């Protein structure tokens, strides 16, 4: 096909992601977005202006070669496109679904100055799913490799995106990699935090299986710091280097009266019980009492996941209580739209000051105050302040706190040689190495709560540093 002129590209309208209707999908956990068709993907890719100095690439934390993979899709070279993405991003089916694209690669896309940005994330997902389907059908052989019997042993602690990316890179370099995971299932937040209606577990499982085919060994139900200590891994089990990627899984609370009442959950517990422990099944060992009227406090992705899960678990009314306004909400824009379509009630500029109880100690409501935005500070962010005498009560029988997470101190407390910052996160040098020689760290346990792609980027970059360090020291 002849090269399109700029005029022809500009005339192509933005494609819409096919999705299941809100009133159908809010009753189950199946994926909301259905994926672009081949025709849609080619049209969307043809909207790209193929910029000479593409700002989209500099806004992607792992610098995916965006114009080139999009050009390949526009030429129907779908497998080549996916393989090109994988050079920089080992988990494209995942990032294509969960990256905050509107704040990253798509934020300064030059097509956005004409009408709307190219849907880079949707195209990334399309190419990755196409490659996976071709591999499953045996049309393309999946990569397999095994570590040599004399390969140097390296340990990875935690199987979230940072751990998976690091393990993949190290295996590719020929190391014998073992990933130690505290849960019974690998994937970190990708499986226990993000619900299946956004990221189906089998997609994460596919990546874990691929790593296993490449020789990575997964040891689940191992809590490093308790089951085994870092120095035991190195001195007794002969791992020559360790990458710590245990995330930041400790929930935060507001410190208001009533947070210990029956019917109050942290989003972390609520989502883990739903996603990983089958709590939606009444016969499971760990069911959740479905709230009739649920209030989720927070405005990030975790809050959005919890409130949309509560609807699927059968609530009659689900509220999202957030102290700022919609424009300042940190959640991905797509999730906010989906939550609105599914019937979530947004109580914005509202902050809880007390959780109220009935005579049996169960939640009966939350007392809130209305907030107002202040002038923007030097960083451009607007603070909020309470409106005097604005107290009111939202009646509810369940409250889910989703106001942030902190570093889990279990591993670090058991490893006192690790230098931590004031908030308990692990300190590393520019190469990712901690205060213990040969022990590296990355992802949320170093950055604080961040994103999947930043965690993956840390895993990939630190694998290179580990390789350099091992070449000189092992
Ligand atoms: P994690 O993914 O937290 O993985 C750490 C792993 O280490 C876990 O499996 C844990 O069980 C294991 N572990 C912990 N301690 C030990 C130990 N002592 N021994 C062995 N194993 C241990 N980001 C986005 O980009 N887009 C989104 O849409 C998005 N949605 C989110 C929704 C929710 C509900 C949450 C909680 C987070 C979300 N994030 C999102 C953030 C993103 O998931 C995290 O930034 C990312 O997963 C961090 O990766 P990680 O590998 O550092 O840690
Ligand atoms: Fe965009 Fe994320 Fe893909 Fe980078 S990895 S191109 S930020 S969707
Ligand atoms: Fe294409 Fe937008 Fe990147 Fe330009 S900035 S190359 S239009 S995706």
Give yes or no for a contact between 440 and 432, defined as CB atoms under 8 angstroms apart. Answer: yes
142 Cβ inside 6 Å of ligand 3: no
Same domain, 256 and 380: yes
Residue 357 maps to a domain: yes
Q: Which residues contact 251 (CB under 8 A, 6 or more apart)?
A: 266, 267, 268, 269, 401, 405, 406
Same domain, 378 and 260: yes
Closest alpha carbon to 441 in 423, 471, 465: 465
Kindly identify the ligand whose nearest atom is closest to the C-alpha of 303.
Answer: 1
Residue 382: CATH number of its domain: 3.50.50.60
Measure the CA–CA gap between 97 and 87, rounded to whole angstroms. Answer: 18
Task: Give the domain extent around 331.
Answer: 251-404
Helix, strand or coil for residue 134? Answer: helix
Q: Which residues contact 48 (CB under 8 A, 6 or more apart)?
A: 9, 67, 70, 71, 74, 111, 118
Asked which of 76, 111, 136 is the last residue of a domain, the reply is 136
446 Cβ inside 6 Å of ligand 1: no
Residue 64 maps to a domain: yes
Closest residue by Cα to atom 2, ligand 2, is 99
Same domain, 396 and 277: yes
Kindly identify the ligand whose nearest atom is closest to the C-alpha of 60.
Answer: 2
95 Cβ inside 6 Å of ligand 2: yes
Closest approach atom of ligand 3 to CA 49: 7
Q: What is the pLDDT of residue 277?
A: 78
Q: What predicted TM-score, i.e. pTM, was given to this entire model?
A: 0.93
Measure the CA–CA gap between 75 and 77, rounded to whole angstroms. Answer: 5
Q: What is the pLDDT of residue 245?
A: 98
Same domain, 378 and 399: yes
The model's pLDDT over 445-465, given as tens digits with 9 standing for 90+, comes to 999 999 999 999 999 999 999
Measure the CA–CA gap between 270 and 274, rounded to whole angstroms. Answer: 6
Residue 26: CATH number of its domain: 1.10.1060.10
Q: Which residues contact 325 (CB under 8 A, 6 or more apart)?
A: 348, 349, 373
Measure the CA–CA gap between 372 and 351, rounded to whole angstroms. Answer: 10
Q: What is the pLDDT of residue 145?
A: 66
**Counting every residue, how long is the chain?**
474
Cα of 56 vs centre of ligand 2, distance in Å, is: 9
Cα of 109 vs centre of ligand 3, distance in Å, is: 5
121 Cβ inside 6 Å of ligand 1: no
193 Cβ inside 6 Å of ligand 1: yes
Residue 439 maps to a domain: yes
Distances (CA, A) of 371 to 28, 382, 386: 34, 12, 4
Q: How many domains does the chain have?
A: 3
Same domain, 434 and 387: no
Distances (CA, A) of 446 to 120, 162, 287, 309: 28, 11, 33, 29
Q: What is the pLDDT of residue 1?
A: 55
Cα of 417 vs centre of ligand 1, distance in Å, is: 24
Closest residue by Cα to atom 30, ligand 1, is 301
Measure the CA–CA gap between 431 and 463, rounded to whole angstroms. Answer: 10
Give yes or no for a contact between 117 and 94, defined as CB atoms under 8 angstroms apart. Answer: no
Axis-axis angle for helices 161-172, 201-213 (nearest 10)? 20
Helix, strand or coil for residue 394? Answer: strand
Same domain, 117 and 171: no
Low-confidence ranges of the chain (pLDDT < 50): none
Cα of 424 vs centre of ligand 1, distance in Å, is: 16
The model's pLDDT over 205-233, given as tens digits with 9 standing for 90+, comes to 998 998 999 899 999 999 999 999 999 99
Measure the CA–CA gap between 403 and 425, rounded to whole angstroms. Answer: 18
Residue 21 maps to a domain: yes
Give yes or no for a contact between 92 and 65, defined as CB atoms under 8 angstroms apart. Answer: no
Measure the CA–CA gap between 390 and 48, rounded to whole angstroms. Answer: 49
Cα of 7 vs centre of ligand 3, distance in Å, is: 15
Measure the CA–CA gap between 271 and 264, rounded to whole angstroms. Answer: 13
121 Cβ inside 6 Å of ligand 2: yes
Same domain, 271 and 242: no
48 Cβ inside 6 Å of ligand 3: yes
Cα of 327 vs centre of ligand 2, distance in Å, is: 22
**% of the chain with per-residue pLDDT over 90:** 84
Same domain, 262 and 211: no
67 Cβ inside 6 Å of ligand 3: yes
Measure the CA–CA gap between 363 and 260, rounded to whole angstroms. Answer: 10
Which DSSP symbol is given to 19? B
Closest residue by Cα to atom 2, ligand 3, is 109
Same domain, 259 and 212: no
Q: What is the pLDDT of residue 150?
A: 83
Kindly identify the ligand whose nearest atom is closest to the C-alpha of 405.
Answer: 1
64 Cβ inside 6 Å of ligand 3: no
Which of 54, 63, 71, 114 has most ligand 3 atoms within 8 Å of its beta carbon, as the pocket-test mutant? Answer: 54
Which DSSP symbol is given to 257? B
Q: What tokens appear for 424 in the block? A: 């308990």
57 Cβ inside 6 Å of ligand 1: no
State the SS3 of 77-97.
Answer: CHHHHHHHHHHHCCCHHHHHH
Residue 319 maps to a domain: yes
Same domain, 102 and 130: yes
Cα of 187 vs centre of ligand 1, distance in Å, is: 8
Q: What is the pLDDT of residue 144?
A: 65
Cα of 168 vs centre of ligand 3, distance in Å, is: 29
Residue 142 maps to a domain: no
Distances (CA, A) of 62 to 59, 349, 357, 455: 9, 35, 48, 10
Distances (CA, A) of 330 to 201, 326, 378, 406: 24, 9, 19, 17
Same domain, 34 and 158: no
Contacts 24+ apart (CB under 8 A), 142-146: 142/210, 142/213, 143/210, 143/213, 143/214, 144/213, 144/214, 145/171, 145/172, 145/213, 145/214, 145/215, 146/214, 146/215
Residue 143 maps to a domain: no
Task: Kindly compute the dihedral angle of the four CA atoms of residues 302, 304, 310, 313, in this order, to the nearest 10 degrees.
Answer: -90
Closest residue by Cα to atom 23, ligand 1, is 451
Closest alpha carbon to 201 in 210, 217, 182, 188: 188
Cα of 109 vs centre of ligand 2, distance in Å, is: 12
For 162, phi then psi, to 5°, come to: -65, -50
User: C-alpha angle 90/305/23, rounded to 5°?
Assistant: 110
Residue 147 maps to a domain: no
Closest alpha carbon to 163 in 99, 95, 211: 211
Same domain, 196 and 300: no
């Amino acid at each position: 096909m002849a090269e399109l002129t700029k005029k022809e590209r500009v005339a192509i309208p933005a494609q819409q992601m096919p999705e299941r209707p809100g009133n159908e999908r809010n009753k189950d956990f199946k994926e909301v977005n259905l994926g672009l068709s081949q025709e849609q993907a080619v049209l969307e890719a043809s909207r790209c202006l193929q910029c000479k100095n593409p700002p989209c690439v500099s806004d992607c934390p792992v610098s995916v070669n965006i114009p080139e993979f999009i050009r390949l899709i526009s030429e129907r070279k779908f497998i080549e496109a996916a393989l090109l993405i994988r050079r920089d991003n080992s988990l494209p089916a995942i990032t294509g679904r969960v990256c905050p694209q509107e704040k990253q690669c798509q934020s300064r896309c030059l097509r956005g100055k004409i009408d709307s940005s190219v849907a880079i994330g949707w195209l990334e997902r399309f190419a990755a799913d196409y490659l996976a389907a071709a591999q499953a059908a045996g049309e393309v052989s999946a990569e397999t490799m095994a570590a040599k019997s004399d390969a140097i042993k390296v340990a990875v602690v935690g199987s979230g995106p940072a751990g998976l990316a690091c393990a993949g890179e190290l295996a590719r370099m020929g190391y014998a990699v073992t990933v130690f995971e505290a849960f019974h299932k690998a994937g970190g937040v990708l499986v226990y935090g993000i619900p299946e209606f956004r990221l189906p577990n089998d997609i994460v499982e596919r990546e874990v299986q691929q790593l296993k085919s490449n020789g990575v060994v997964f040891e689940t139900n191992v809590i490093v710091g308790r089951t085994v200590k870092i120095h035991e891994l190195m001195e007794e089990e002969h791992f020559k280097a360790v990458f710590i990627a245990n995330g930041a899984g400790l929930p935060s609370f507001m410190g208001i009266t009533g947070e210990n009442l029956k019917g109050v959950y942290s989003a972390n517990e609520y989502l883990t019980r739903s996603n990983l422990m089958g709590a939606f099944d009444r016969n499971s060992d760990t069911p959740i009492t479905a709230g009739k009227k649920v209030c989720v406090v927070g405005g990030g992705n975790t809050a959005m996941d919890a409130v949309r899960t509560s609807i699927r678990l059968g609530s009659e009314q689900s509220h999202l209580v957030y102290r700022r306004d919609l424009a300042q909400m940190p959640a991905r824009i797509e999730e906010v739209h989906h939550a609105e379509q599914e019937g979530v009630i947004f109580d914005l500029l509202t902050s809880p000051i007390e959780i109220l109880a009935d005579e049996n100690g169960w939640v009966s409501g939350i007392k809130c105050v209305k907030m107002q935005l202040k002038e923007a500070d030097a960083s451009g962010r607007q603070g909020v302040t309470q409106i005097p005498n604005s107290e009111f009560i939202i009646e509810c029988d369940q409250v889910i706190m989703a106001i942030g997470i902190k570093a889990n101190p279990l591993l670090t407390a058991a490893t006192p040689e690790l230098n931590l910052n004031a908030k308990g996160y692990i300190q590393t040098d520019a190469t990712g190495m901690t205060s213990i020689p040969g022990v590296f760290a990355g992802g949320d346990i170093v950055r604080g709560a961040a994103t999947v792609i930043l965690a993956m980027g840390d895993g990939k970059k630190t694998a290179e540093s580990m390789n350099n360090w091992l070449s000189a020291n092992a």
